[in-house]
Structure 1
């Protein structure tokens, strides 16, 4: 069961549960939801979420995604990251963990 991870806030996750799907700000601005592999999480937390509170980590089962999953190369980080090109269907989220 391949999984990927997404960091968000508890309030954004609660909004998603009310709407029935999750859309990040990046989806609207860049066309995809940023995700990570497990090994990438510490660096992502350090680079983008340092000092932020109310964070949660979504564990996403990739086989359940209804939107397209593409692994894109990041020149800035020199690594490949999973991106979800569309809304995240809630039933693909198999675990929610407070950070």
Structure 2
């Protein structure tokens, strides 16, 4: 089984994407258009990403669980620097129907389920 693609975002941004039909934020404060791809993580990478982007006590964050087969855009695993850890990057917008689950960040790290998209 392939590891799930995960994207950490603020709940209001996900709510807006649900209305628009597409999610187009790359990372905190940067859009897909600005960055060229959407930053994602694997499960073991998520806590460090949350700390780096949102500090030691992130609030109002959700984790989008993405089905890569529903994307319609390429996914590439790339490192920020040569020999560094590789992270999944989605080279296009995320259709809301590719998000198969939405979990509050705290519940996600505890391995609990969450709301439907």
TM-score, reference length from structure 1: 0.90
Q: Which has the larger radius of gyration?
A: 2
Q: Paired residue for 2:79, among 62, 70, 73?
A: 73
Kept in 2: contact 1:26–1:34 (CA 8 A): no
Q: Which has the higher contact order (CA 8 A, sep 6+)?
A: 1
What secondary structure sits across from 2:15 in the alignment?
Answer: helix
- Displacement of 1:76: 8.2
Deviation at 1:26, TM superposition (A): 3.5
Pairing 1:20-99 to 2, within 5 Å after superposition: 20-24=21-25, 25-50=30-55, 51-75=57-81, 78-99=84-105
- Distance in 1 (CA, whole Å) between partners of 2:48 and 2:84 is 13
Aligned to 1:29, what secondary structure does the other structure show?
helix
Contact 1:71–1:81 (CA under 8 A) maintained in structure 2: yes
Cα distance, 1:20 vs. partner? 0.4
Structure-2-length-normalised TM-score = 0.77
Q: Distance in 1 between matches of 2:43 and 2:83?
A: 16
Shift of the 29–46 alpha-carbon distance from structure 1 to 2, 3 Å rule, reads same
Structure 2: 5+ residue stretches without partners = 106-117
